[in-house]
Structure 1
């Protein structure tokens, strides 16, 4: 599949179609990516290997007859859930030549990677595990309900629900900051414009910083109870 010119909206559309096609769970139920992989991919082997450090997330080998995914045994189950989904995005959308590379957390790693392909795998995994159609309307009420606690409680609650780490949730909030702003301003989920951070910067679009979202959510909460 040629994904060379996919933007965020196109990527999400294909990921949504994939999720609908291979998930047996209703609506946007949380996903166990390893169980999903074993159910959907023939001749698949998933191994947990203690790599030299925890920065290496996983390896995908997509052959003509067999597929192998190696996950880092030094990373938590929640990390591995995202890592495996990252590899599954590679598997379903990218050609074999891109599916035999080591994927790392850090862009400064010396391993040769295609930054655009890795962005698609990360963003695609986030949309598969935490679809914006479910994440945004779930996030705003939760952050209001967490008052008078900090927003960390909301992050932890979302992480537990989606089976990922709090760090992944924080990244997701920032990824969707423009879309969250639109939803807060009254746009329906169907009308929200999806733009990547790069595109927003190119168009000079400013978004609400992550921490400021707490204030907006609490303001909305207080208005609803007055």
Structure 2
């Protein structure tokens, strides 16, 4: 049974958002700050923040001002792209009154709502790097690079290619793919990507699923096997 804060429910919401913004599944590497300014009426500006770890801030509209996102001018354009998406998810999902604002840091702080921060991070990742698109891209690139460079260099080269394609950093791509190991395992076992039900790390723990012990090469090299050959007991090991 799907709960209110499930990953699957959030991803469906983000899918609807992409549709409303006329961003189809073939579009990769778009600018979130540009979309906010030109299509959504959100003011996006940059300030060289002095506060350590501060990445972005968001202010809901008032009678005098429009929705506003402020990004850290010290961060790269690819970093700002994700930061802007993160702040926009806050504006969409978490405004409870017109006086509320959001300040987002490298790590969640004690005074922040951890669920809001998870949802903003996960929503931003799905907006820029939809799991139904980035997983097939990764598998395709990995196999291509494995043939060219060998297994040891294939992962790093594939992540670098994806970072350029999606306009984010390699670190963001790696973090995203690590959070999609459950879905990646099903896809590489031959399951239809459109029929895979995403599960968050918390939900995986609740279902006694442990994907952290597998590296990408183990998961990807199960690609093109029939779904009935997938060893669920092997992957879904009880802690």
Question: What's the TM-score once normalised by structure 2's chain length?
Answer: 0.82
Match of 2:220 among 200, 206, 217: 217
* Structure 1 residue aligned with 2:183: 179
* Structure 1 residue aligned with 2:229: none
Q: Is the 8 A contact 2:49 2:72 kept in 1?
A: yes
2:10 paired with 1:11: yes
Deviations 1:62-92 (A, max 9, x none): 1234111110011111100000011111122
* Structure 2 residue aligned with 1:126: 125
- Unpaired segments ≥5 residues, structure 2: 225-239
Displacement of 1:45: 2.3
In structure 2, relative to structure 1, the CA distance for the partners of 1:174 and 1:26 (3 Å cut) is closer
Alpha-carbon distance in 1 for matches of 2:154, 2:23: 35
CA RMSD after TM alignment: 2.2
Alpha-carbon distance in 2 for matches of 1:51, 1:194: 36
- 1:157-196 pair list within 5 angstroms: 157-196=161-200
In structure 2, relative to structure 1, the CA distance for the partners of 1:38 and 1:160 (3 Å cut) is same
Q: Is the 8 A contact 2:31 2:81 kept in 1?
A: yes
Question: What's the TM-score once normalised by structure 1's chain length?
Answer: 0.86
Alpha-carbon distance in 2 for matches of 1:220, 1:195: 20
Q: Is the 8 A contact 1:55 1:106 kept in 2?
A: yes
Higher relative contact order (CA 8 A, sep 6+): 1
Displacement of 1:220: 5.0
In structure 2, relative to structure 1, the CA distance for the partners of 1:99 and 1:184 (3 Å cut) is farther
Q: Is the 8 A contact 1:174 1:209 kept in 2?
A: no
Q: Is the 8 A contact 2:71 2:83 kept in 1?
A: yes
* Structure 2 residue aligned with 1:56: 54
In structure 2, relative to structure 1, the CA distance for the partners of 1:150 and 1:24 (3 Å cut) is closer
Deviations 1:83-122 (A, max 9, x none): 0011111122222449502011112x35x21100111110
Alpha-carbon distance in 2 for matches of 1:54, 1:33: 24
* Structure 2 residue aligned with 1:69: 69
* Structure 2 residue aligned with 1:95: 95
* Structure 1 residue aligned with 2:81: 81
Q: Is the 8 A contact 2:188 2:223 kept in 1?
A: no
- Unpaired segments ≥5 residues, structure 1: 222-226
Match of 2:205 among 201, 219, 225: 201
In structure 2, relative to structure 1, the CA distance for the partners of 1:144 and 1:53 (3 Å cut) is farther
Q: Is the 8 A contact 2:57 2:70 kept in 1?
A: yes
SS of corresponding position for 1:52: coil
In structure 2, relative to structure 1, the CA distance for the partners of 1:99 and 1:58 (3 Å cut) is farther
Q: Which moved more, 1:6-15 or 1:19-28?
A: 19-28
Equivalent pairs counted in the alignment come to: 214
